[in-house]
Structure 1
């Protein structure tokens, strides 16, 4: 019998990328500070300093290895999901960030094997039964394809959450139970 495939995003789903990138942005450009709550779109139009580009904001060497876990439950719940389902990590990444992301994943979740680590911006190209993600550009195509989703709420997906009935998961506490419920009900 085939096990269900649960695809899990990395950035701002199992770890905090934007908050850490904001920290470094504000340290480097103190005259043009950013705030997490102001991140209302899934782009970098919010960058205020002319030298703060998307490449600078997300491209700082070592950034992806220093990210904090999403919360205190994420590792335990990911391990439970890994034992029950085929869990794949599906993360967008530039070539120079891939090794950092893999290193972070192995430090925090070494039970995820390399063959379950996919670098892919267009997640709709991957086969899965359920997607856990924060990006509306991934959640909407999954829903349109008839797949289950769990949305990690952030300011940049607020508008889409208001327009679409995404099931939300604002904490990893009891995530396995939430996934079980979603996958058991058509």
Structure 2
């Protein structure tokens, strides 16, 4: 049985699309998703706006689920020890919202398998699926980079572009039969 650490934002939860939608609803302006490619997360928005939106009560509660994530994570959790690991303390309002979101969309994940932290350098697992180099860089296990606009130029890790690719990778590597 393997231990798999999975990030939330832009991995399980479609933070990018939600941020674009909330920005448009709040400011009446549309940002072309292509403008997000290869720039640091949040940098395509006017100065400080992305942080301001993410610090708004209710923001994290309304993020859509990443397509395919529920089915694949459930299948992985049936065979392995799956932990959701989120650097949620960066946005203190997100803690309760992320927990409620997980309980709604991933009810099969026990509260014991949810880790809210500041730095993921303490995470010990066999596998980590994350969208940020800063979280994968010091991880000692197998690192899977989940594609997001801000990481398209990173080539240091095995890249997965969808949850279907995650399932296929684990199946091909005989880690799980998904």
TM-score by length of 1: 0.82
Which residue does the alignment assign to 2:12? 14
Q: Flag as ranges the 4+ runs of structure 1 deviating above 6 A.
A: none
Which residue does the alignment assign to 1:45? 43
Displacement of 1:81 in angstroms is 0.6
Query: RMSD value over aligned CA atoms?
Result: 2.0
| Structure 2 unaligned residues grouped into runs of 5+ | none
8 Å contact kept, 2:5–2:127:
yes
Displacement of 1:77 in angstroms is 0.9
Counting only pairs closer than 5 Å after superposition, residues 30-179 of structure 1 correspond to structure 2 as: 30=28, 33-39=30-36, 40-48=38-46, 52-71=48-67, 73-93=68-88, 94-142=91-139, 145=140, 147-161=141-155, 164=156, 166-173=157-164, 175-179=166-170
Equivalent pairs, count: 172
TM-score by length of 2: 0.86
- Could you tell me how far apart the structure 2 residues matched to 1:57 and 1:141 are? 29
- Could you tell me how far apart the structure 1 residues matched to 2:42 and 2:63 are? 19
Q: Give the match's secondary structure for 2:153.
A: helix
| Structure 1 unaligned residues grouped into runs of 5+ | none
